[in-house]
A and B are shown apart, each in its own frame.
Chain A
C-alpha cells in the first residue's frame, strides 16, 4: 500500500528509472536505477554494497463507520484521515530516498464501539513506536496508556476533546488535531474582529454538542463576545433525510428561533448532525451563522490553496480521488512529524526522533503560512485555524491584533497559565 502510494505520487516512475541516479542513498528507493545511461524501465535492485534503508514503522488506528449527515456533502468518506496519512508516508519516502530511510504505514480500521486494546497491544508488541490515532477521546487515552510502558508515542489526529490536553493529558500523547477550544477561539476572534459581538447559541443535546457549546461560551468570555441567549435543540430522532425534503425545515426552524433576543450571529453547536445544517437561511431574522454550521473552523479546508496549499491539494487529490479535509491534514501532519524528525536527526532511532520532536527546535511546515510547533506543557500542536463556508476559505485565525507574549498561535485554545495538564514525573 505505501509503496504504491509512493509510485503514484511520482507519476511516470518507470520512465524515470533510468533517468537519474541519486548518489546519496541509492539503496533507498528501488526505482532509482544505478546506470543513468541505460534506461531501465523495471525497478532496479539497490546498488551493490549500499546499506539497506532504515525502516520506520508508523501505526494508524482509527474507528470509522459511514454515518449519515444532514447534507450528503458532509458524510465523511471511507478514507477520511487515512488518505492524509498515506500521502504523508509517500512524502516521507521521497525525502527518505535521500536519507536512506523508509517509512511504512500499518493501518487498522475499527468500528465505533469495537475494543481498541487488542489491536493497540498487537501494534506495540510488534514494535511499532509511533501510533497515529483517529479515535474517540476514551479510546485515544486507552491507546496512550497501553503505549506508555513501551515508550511509544501516540499522535492524536482525531479527537478534539480539550480534556485530552488538560486533566487527561499524557506525556506520550501528542495532538496534531486542534482542540475544540482552539476551533471556538478561532471563530470568536474572527467575529470580534468583525465587531459582531452579540451571539445566540443553539446547542444540540449530545455530549459533543455540549462540549462545543461550553468551549464557545469560554471563547466568548475570553474575547469579549456576549452570549445573549442559549437554546437547546432536542434530538427527536427520526431520519436525516426524507422524501418531503426541506418543506418542514423551512417552516419549523424560523419558529424555533423566533424568540431570540437581538443578536448579530447565531452560533451552532451540533457536532452530532441533528439540526445545524438547517439553520443558515432559515433564521427568523436575517443573521449570519457560525460554529459547526455556516462559518466553520478547521485545521484545513478543501479549497485552501494559499501558502503553497495548491501543491498538497493536488497530490492529495491525485492519490485519494477527492479533496483534502481537516482530518486528512491532521493525519498528514502526524506522519510528517515523524518524517521531519527522522530527517532532521538523520536517524531512525526512536530515542533520537522523540527527543527532537519534544525538543525546542522542532517545527513543521504545513501550508498555513507559518511554522507549526508543539506546546511543551501539553503537546498540542500550535497551528493557524482556517475559517470557511462549504465552498471557500473566508479567513484564518489568529486574527490581526490578538497578541501574545510567546506566540500569537497561543491565543487559540487553553494557554499555559490556565492549563491543568500536569505530566507525571
Chain B
C-alpha cells in the first residue's frame, strides 16, 4: 500500500511538471481513515494524503480556494487547512458534532449543522468567532446557501424540514416539510430553486426559492432495485441549471435529472454507497464519494459517462474542489 501511494505520488509529480501550470485539486474526506486524500484535477491521481481530526465528514473550500474547512465530527470542531501545503491553520468553534457546512459566497461566514444539539452555528470567518446558534429541527444536517448569500437552508433529518434562515436577522423565515430524512440542500446558480434530497423518503423536493412552495417532487426508479435501497443524498446542479445530479446512496448510482422538466434522464453506475458530489471548477467533471468501495468516481458531465474510479482512503464521505495549482513546485 505504501509503495503504491509513493508510486502514485511520483507519477503525479512527474505529470504536473509536464502538464498545464494551472490546475485544481480535489479533496476527499475519509470518515474512517481520519484523513484527507488530495487528487490532482488534471490526472485524477492521488497526490497526497494528510491526517486530520477524528471522523472527518463535511468539507468545503473557501471561495478564494486557499482554505479547506473540515468538519471533524468526533472532535466537535471545524478544522482549517491550507489547500496549498495542507498545513493546519486552526480550528473554528463549530459546536458539537459538526457534519456539513457551507461558506458564504463572499467568504465571510461559515454555517455548520450540529446534529446532536439541533442547532445551526454561524461563524464569522474574519474573526473566527461564533456569531450565533440558531435552533432548528431534530438532527440538522444539510446546509445550502443562496448565490447572493442572503438565505441559508438547513435540513433536519428527524423533523423532516428544510429551514430557511435569513442571513441578517438570523431568523428562520420559513419551514418546508419534505420527505423522510432530508440530507442535502442545493440552490440553483440563478437562485430560483432549492433542491432538497430525502434519503429515506427516496425523493428530491424542488422548492421555489421565492414562494417556498414545493414545485415538484422527483422520484427515482431503477429496474431490479427495490425502492427502499434508493436513498438520495448529495445533489449538485450545473451552472446553467440544465441538469442536476443526485447521489442515490446504496443504489450505487447517480441520477441525472433534467433541470427544467425534472425528468430523470439517466442513472450512472458508480461505486458503492455514493453520498456526496462536487463539480470541477470548469463544470466538466463531477466527482462522487463511494463510502463502501473506498473510491471516487469521475463523471464526464457533457456525456454523462463514468470515465474512471480512483481509490482514496477508508470510507470516503465528503468531496470539495479547490481552484488552486495542483503542486507548489
Contacts and interface: CB of A to CB of B under 8 A. Distances in A.
Given A98-B159, A314-B97, A24 B116 contact: no
Contacts of A365: 157-158, 160, 180-181, 199-200
Interface stretch (B6-14, B134-142, B255-263, B321-329): B134-142
A413 B133 CA distance: 46
A347 to B, nearest CB: 12
Interface residues of B, number: 39
A95 B180 contact: no
Nearest to B122: A19
Contact of B118 (A9, A32, A36, A343): A9
A94 interface: yes
B218 interface: no
A21 interface: yes
Indicate the member of A25, A36, A364 with the most B CB atoms within 10 Å.
A36
Contacts of B97: 311, 314
Contacts of A15: 133
A32 B181 contact: no
Interface in A1-56: 9-12, 15-16, 19-25, 32, 36
Given A315-B116, A343-B160, A371-B180, A95 B138 contact: yes
Contact of B172 (A9, A24, A370): A24
Given A363-B180, A363-B200, A408-B226, A20 B158 contact: no
A371 B132 contact: no
B92 to A, nearest CB: 18
Contacts of A36: 169-171
A293 B47 CA distance: 49
Contacts of A11: 117, 119
Q: How large is the interface on A (under 10, 10 to 19, 20 to 34, 35 or more residues)?
A: 35 or more
Given A19-B132, A365-B200, A94 B175 contact: no
B119 to A, nearest CB: 8
B91 interface: no
Most buried by B among A9, A10, A308, A369: A308
A407 interface: yes
B125 interface: no
Given A94-B137, A98-B175, A407-B226, A20 B200 contact: no
A371 B201 contact: yes
B177 interface: yes
A194 B173 CA distance: 53
A94 B137 CA distance: 6
Contacts of B201: 363, 371
B158 A32 contact: no
Contacts of B116: 311, 314-315, 318
B229 interface: yes
Contacts of B163: 98
A308 B155 CA distance: 14
B139 A311 contact: yes
A10 B117 contact: yes
A23 B226 contact: no
Contact of B135 (A20, A91, A308, A343): A20
Contact of B229 (A9, A12, A363, A370): A370
B200 A22 contact: no
B299 to A, nearest CB: 25
A20 B172 contact: yes
Contacts of B169: 21, 36
A21 B181 CA distance: 24
Contacts of A407: 226, 228
A210 B151 CA distance: 60
B118 A19 contact: no
A307 B161 CA distance: 19
A252 to B, nearest CB: 44
A344 interface: yes
B115 interface: yes
Nearest to B177: A343
Interface in B224-238: 226, 228-229, 231
A23 B163 CA distance: 11
Contacts of A314: 97, 116
Contacts of A370: 200, 228-229, 231
Nearest to A21: B171
Contacts of A32: 135
Contacts of B269: none
B158 A10 contact: no
Contacts of B117: 10-11
Contact of B171 (A12, A20, A95, A364): A20
B174 interface: yes
A38 to B, nearest CB: 13
Given A32-B135, A370-B228, A407-B228, A24 B180 contact: no
A318 B96 CA distance: 13
Contacts of A364: 180
Contact of B161 (A20, A98, A308, A318): A98
Central interface residue in A36, A314, A370, by most chain B CB within 10 Å: A370
Contacts of B118: 9-10, 94
Interface string B142-181: 0000000000000011111101000001111111010011
B249 to A, nearest CB: 9
Contacts of B158: 91, 95, 336, 365
Contacts of B199: 365
A222 B264 CA distance: 40
B200 A371 contact: yes
Given A20-B134, A23-B172, 13 more contacts: A20-B135, A36-B169, A91-B159, A98-B137, A308-B139, A311-B139, A340-B160, A344-B177, A365-B180, A370-B200, A370-B229, A371-B200, A407-B226
17 contacts: A10-B117, A16-B133, A20-B132, A24-B174, A25-B175, A36-B169, A91-B138, A94-B137, A94-B159, A98-B163, A314-B97, A314-B116, A365-B157, A371-B200, A371-B202, A408-B226, A409-B228
Interface of B: 97, 115-119, 132-135, 137-139, 156-161, 163, 169-175, 177, 180-181, 199-202, 226, 228-229, 231, 250
Interface of A: 9-12, 15-16, 19-25, 32, 36, 91, 94-95, 98, 308, 311, 314-315, 318, 336, 340, 343-344, 346, 363-365, 369-371, 407-409
